[in-house]
Amino acid sequence: MDSQNEGQVYGELNIEDEVIIQYAADEIIKTDGVSRLVGGITESFSKNILGRESTNQGVRVVRDDNKASIDVHIIIKYGVNIPQVAFEIQSKVKEVVESSTGLKIEAVNISVEGVEKR
């Protein structure tokens, strides 16, 4: 990068929550031990009442300026070490979202909604 242009601002950058959700969801699904993401009440309402299905149900972003928290709802595979899987998700999601968006991720909150035997 040309050092002459460093620090110059040419306009605004707005990263939509859906972009953050997509990055997070992609990392979560790739994590060993995760069966799938599951939606909460909002996703169920959208799907059942409004006829719209959320593309990334199970992930929600709460933002405050240049900081964000991410809430994750998952079903895990039977027999996995739940704390280990949760820590891996938290680490991967934080790293990918921060490096891709420049946002500071304050928390990645994991809710294990169930266990899937297969």
Residue 25 inside a domain? The answer is yes
- pLDDT tens for 14-37 read 999 999 999 999 999 999 999 999
pLDDT over 80 (residue 4): no
CATH number of the domain enclosing 76 = 3.30.70.1350
Domain extent, residue 49, equals 17-116
- pLDDT tens for 74-101 read 999 999 999 999 999 999 999 999 999 9
Residue 12 inside a domain? The answer is no
pTM of the model: 0.79
Residue 10 inside a domain? The answer is no
Residue 33 inside a domain? The answer is yes
Report the C-alpha gap between 73 and 66 in whole angstroms. 23
State the average pLDDT for the chain.
Answer: 87
Residue 68 inside a domain? The answer is yes
Helices (H), 49-118: 82-101
Strand-strand pairing, 67-77 and 59-64: antiparallel
Using DSSP, state whether 78 is helix, strand or coil.
coil
Residue 6 inside a domain? The answer is no
Residue 59 inside a domain? The answer is yes
Query: Domains in the chain: how many in total?
Result: 1
Residue 53 inside a domain? The answer is yes
Helices (H), the chain: 17-29, 41-48, 82-101
